[in-house]
Chain A
Amino acid sequence: GENVEQHPSTLSVQEGDSAVIKCTYSDSASNYFPWYKQELGKRPQLIIDIRSNVGEKKDQRIAVTLNKTAKHFSLHITETQPEDSAVYFCAALPAGSARQLTFGSGTQLTVLP
């Protein structure tokens, strides 16, 4: 089955700086890669996703890049703000009929004011 590894497990940045979180996946057939933000005690919320037919996607301060050859994808947050502090999870969805997401272990991002 799919295996997703996520790094780093914790990340602290100064407000206004950029943050980058990286994930690798094992199943080359995976074709959908969402990123979820989870605040303490709250539900995971989708912040951005990318499909395997594109290499990059941006939404305001957030961008995701995908390298299918290397089987890794990354989340980039620019101009970080204290409200960006949360746990971020990457995930991968295999192609075909399977619909279960395989998640990484999460990155605790802290934006220091």
Chain B
Amino acid sequence: GAGVSQTPSNKVTEKGKYVELRCDPISGHTALYWYRQSLGQGPEFLIYFQGTGAADDSGLPNDRFFAVRPEGSVSTLKIQRTERGDSAVYLCASSLASGSVDTQYFGPGTRLTVL
């Protein structure tokens, strides 16, 4: 079946602009995660959705970052007033959320470059 997909694959923007990054999880996966991966580093957690609600947003770095998942499937990560330090690969993952432990499947990521 289809895996996690993310659009766009690359996004170049100017400092101060607003961007939206989209994630389509695997069909039937109720849990959705956003991570950010800087060059040479492991992914860092941003936010986790269970269904439509954000169950844990403790990883969002500041209030310029916001994410939604209005129908419990597709999610959008929104970044306001982008800064050069926001440049990274933004990864989305999804899981079945069955039980306390389940496998997270990652999308290919969106490479965000803030000039």
Residues of A bordering B, CB below 8 Å: 4, 6, 31-32, 34, 36, 42-46, 49, 51, 89, 91, 93, 95-106
Question: Residue of A at shortest CB range from B49?
Answer: A99
Residues of B bordering A, CB below 8 Å: 3-4, 31, 33, 35, 40-45, 48, 55-56, 58-59, 91, 95, 97, 100-101, 103-109
Q: 8 tightest A-B contacts by CB? A: A103-B42, A100-B45, A32-B101, A43-B106, A43-B108, A44-B106, A89-B42, A103-B43
Q: B31, B45, B105: which contacts A102 (Cβ < 8 A)?
A: B45
Assembled-state Cα–Cα distance A4/B45 (Å): 13
Question: Residue of A at shortest CB range from B89?
Answer: A41
Contacts of B56 in A (CB 8 A): 98-100
B43 touches A89 (CB 8 A): yes
